[in-house]
């Protein structure tokens, strides 16, 4: 059977069905990408109230800039039918996750923290979600969570009520706050109640009130005391039950003041739990008898291999040097370090500097030093017959000289850094290292901590004189590695898609010309690049060595939350 065609979309697999319509996997033939397409159900197409509700969802999500709210690409009407084009998120909804059994308390709290972030963003915008429940929480790989279905979101103003013109209550009874059943205003505290119910469901694998029938459910929310998750799951500490009970208080005034406050209280409840069981005192170690003769380490059979400097690449006749990316560090660095058995502390420090030095060169796309100031480290290995001394040049800024006054271009770049780095003392200027680069800055620390994802160990920013130079540099980066372009899935999907680069979206108006991103593993570290066409700045983040695809995926999530969502 041929795929259904809906305007520029080829409709594929059904992903979900809700009160207002269906969500399908679809191929956007105009932008050549796979999306999640939500369409208003045909039976509701002529219902003015549902049409207004559907449009409200599009408008609500379009104006929310929070990592845990799925961004939308477009919305509108095709052949008289309303639709919403969203980023496709691979994963399962929380209902399916819970169906496999109660979650560990730490994981449950981690999920609730992310939902709370999305709710706080909506509440700050004057909106109440009104349908927080497990089936509206999508869990992507790595337990990154999205809150979806803002279709019945309403203003939190006192004039807004929860009853439709027909007198129907909109929402899901299992997670609905008591005030939703009464003729009073509904504000953000109704979402706090529902979030506490979701936390209970995560910890127990069932809804808070296991009553049958609509009337019984409404009565339970209005009259019954909040249930204890610890009675069903012994792993739940009593302190966490207290958090749920406060979140499910019948009187909205008795609840946590915000979704974020509930999440903070839940995290604190976990931190206050002592380790299970008594802690046995450490056993007294037996007395040690000193040996009369020290043990002599075995003599190495061959001296350590010397560290060789990289060869200088030849420049093609009549042109500028092509962008080069040095290979991964070879094992002779490690052999030289391992030979110094009598200087373990010195060797570890040197190894750390070598890793940072290689990462800096790798990100620069140039085998030359990243800075004119250098530090020299010396490692000496001694045996009974030979002595080998190796000097290694490290491209790290010295601390003995005062930093030079930034040039106008460097000042402009420092001012253009993302807020998570702007003004940080670790951000230092470096020598421009590519054609068209007027300034370069490297940072090793961020201004904020993300509770879920570790920051990169290094961030480099380059300011270009022209957009053409910026474009040429980025193309040189991806072409040197044979990275193809694919705008269908976003530029960094290491756990689900082959390495590629793509446009990225700042908001629902679509990508800007020249805005690209990509990520890959190289030299044992993860790298994420993006270009900012508005400022002519290209940036790259790097993880510590030993990165995996999962680590690289988390680096992309850190970038999304700490940088992209704030651009």
> Containing H/E element for 534?
none
CB atoms within 10 A of CB 545: 17
Nearest C-alpha neighbor of 334 from the set 317, 354, 311? 354
Contact 524, 542 (CB under 8 A): no
Question: Under DSSP, is residue 140 helix (H, G, I), strand (E, B) or coil?
Answer: strand
**Residue 343 burial by CB count (10 A; 0-12/13-18/19+): exposed, middle or buried?**
middle
CA-CA distance, 286 to 191, in Å (whole number)? Answer: 59
Q: What is the DSSP letter of 208?
A: S
- Structure-token pair, residue 354: 């070598």
> Does 487 qualify as catalytic in the annotation?
no
**Residue 118 burial by CB count (10 A; 0-12/13-18/19+): exposed, middle or buried?**
buried
Catalytic member of 120, 131, 361, 553: 131
Nearest C-alpha neighbor of 368 from the set 402, 337, 393? 393
The CA-to-CA distance between both ends of the chain, in Å, stands at 43
Residues 6+ apart with CB under 8 A from 222: 178, 181, 250
Query: For the residues of 66-100, what is the DSSP string, one character each?
Result: -TTB--EEEEEEETTEEEEEEE---SEEHHHHHHT
Residues 6+ apart with CB under 8 A from 86: 35, 36, 37, 38, 61, 70, 71, 72, 73
CA-CA distance, 84 to 70, in Å (whole number)? Answer: 12
Nearest C-alpha neighbor of 48 from the set 189, 166, 178, 130? 166
Contact 56, 155 (CB under 8 A): no
- Residue ranges for the binding site? 38
Cα 183 to Cα 149, 169, 409: the distances in Å are: 24, 11, 61
- Residue ranges for the binding site for ATP? 38
Q: Which residue has the tokens 């908001």?
A: 507
Contact 531, 466 (CB under 8 A): no
Contact 145, 50 (CB under 8 A): no
Cα 201 to Cα 132, 197, 205: the distances in Å are: 12, 6, 5
| Phi and psi, residue 170, nearest 5° | -100, 125
CA-CA distance, 335 to 330, in Å (whole number)? Answer: 9
Q: Which residue has the tokens 């009160």?
A: 19
| Phi and psi, residue 300, nearest 5° | -65, 145
The neighbouring-strand residues paired with 539 are: 461, 530
CB atoms within 10 A of CB 407: 13
The neighbouring-strand residues paired with 295 are: none
Query: For the residues of 367-382, what is the DSSP string, one character each?
Result: SS-S-S--EEEEEEEE
Active site residues: 131
């Amino acid at each position: 059977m041929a795929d259904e065609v809906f305007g520029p979309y080829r409709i594929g697999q059904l992903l979900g069905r809700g009160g207002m319509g269906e969500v399908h996997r679809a191929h956007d033939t105009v932008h050549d990408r796979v999306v999640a397409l939500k369409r208003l159900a045909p039976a509701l197409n002529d219902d003015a109230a549902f049409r207004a509700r559907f449009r409200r969802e599009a408008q609500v999500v379009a104006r929310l800039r929070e990592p845990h709210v799925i961004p939308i690409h477009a919305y509108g009407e095709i052949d008289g039918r309303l639709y919403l084009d969203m980023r496709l998120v691979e994963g399962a909804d929380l209902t399916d996750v819970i169906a496999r059994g109660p979650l560990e308390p730490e994981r449950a709290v981690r999920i609730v923290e992310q939902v709370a972030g999305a709710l706080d963003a909506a509440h700050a915008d004057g909106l109440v979600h009104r349908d927080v429940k497990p089936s509206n929480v999508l869990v992507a790989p790595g337990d990154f969570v999205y809150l979806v279905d803002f279709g019945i979101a309403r203003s939190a103003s006192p004039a807004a009520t929860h009853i439709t013109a027909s007198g129907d209550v909109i929402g899901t009874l299992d997670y609905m706050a008591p005030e939703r059943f009464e003729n009073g205003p509904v504000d953000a505290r109704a979402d706090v109640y529902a979030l506490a119910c979701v936390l209970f469901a995560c910890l127990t694998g069932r809804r808070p009130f296991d009553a049958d029938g609509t009337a019984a459910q409404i009565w339970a929310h209005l009259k019954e005391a909040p249930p204890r998750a610890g009675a069903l799951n012994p792993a739940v500490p009593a302190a966490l039950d207290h958090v749920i009970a406060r979140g499910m208080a019948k009187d909205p005034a008795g609840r946590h003041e915000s979704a974020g406050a509930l999440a903070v209280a839940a995290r604190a409840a976990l931190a206050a739990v002592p380790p299970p069981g008594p802690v046995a005192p450490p056993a007294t170690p037996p007395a040690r008898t000193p040996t009369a003769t020290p043990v002599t380490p075995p003599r190495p059979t061959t001296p350590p291999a010397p560290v060789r400097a990289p060869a200088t690449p030849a420049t093609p006749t009549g042109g500028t040097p092509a962008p080069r990316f040095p290979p991964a560090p070879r094992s002779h660095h490690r052999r030289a370090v391992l030979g110094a058995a009598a200087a373990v502390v010195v060797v570890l420090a040197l190894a750390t500097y070598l890793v940072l030095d290689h990462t800096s060169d790798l990100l620069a796309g140039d085998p030359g030093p990243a800075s004119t100031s250098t530090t020299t480290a010396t490692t000496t290995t001694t045996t009974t017959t030979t002595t080998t001394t190796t000097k290694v040049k490290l491209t790290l800024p010295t601390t003995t000289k005062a930093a030079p006054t930034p040039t106008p271009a460097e000042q402009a770049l420092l001012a253009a850094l993302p807020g998570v780095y702007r003004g940080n003392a670790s951000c230092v200027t470096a020598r421009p290292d590519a054609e068209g680069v007027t300034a370069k800055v490297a940072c090793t620390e961020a201004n904020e901590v993300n509770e879920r994802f570790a920051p990169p160990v290094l961030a480099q920013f380059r300011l270009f004189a022209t957009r053409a130079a910026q474009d040429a540099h980025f193309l040189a980066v991806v072409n040197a590695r044979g990275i193809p372009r694919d705008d269908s899935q976003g530029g960094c999907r290491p756990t689900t898609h082959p390495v590629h680069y793509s446009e990225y979206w700042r908001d629902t108006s679509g990508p800007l010309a020249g805005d690209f991103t990509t990520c890959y593993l190289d030299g044992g570290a993860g790298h994420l690049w993006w270009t900012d066409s508005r400022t002519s700045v290209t940036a790259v983040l790097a993880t510590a060595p030993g990165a995996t695809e999962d680590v690289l995926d988390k680096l992309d999530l850190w970038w999304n939350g700490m940088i992209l969502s704030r651009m």
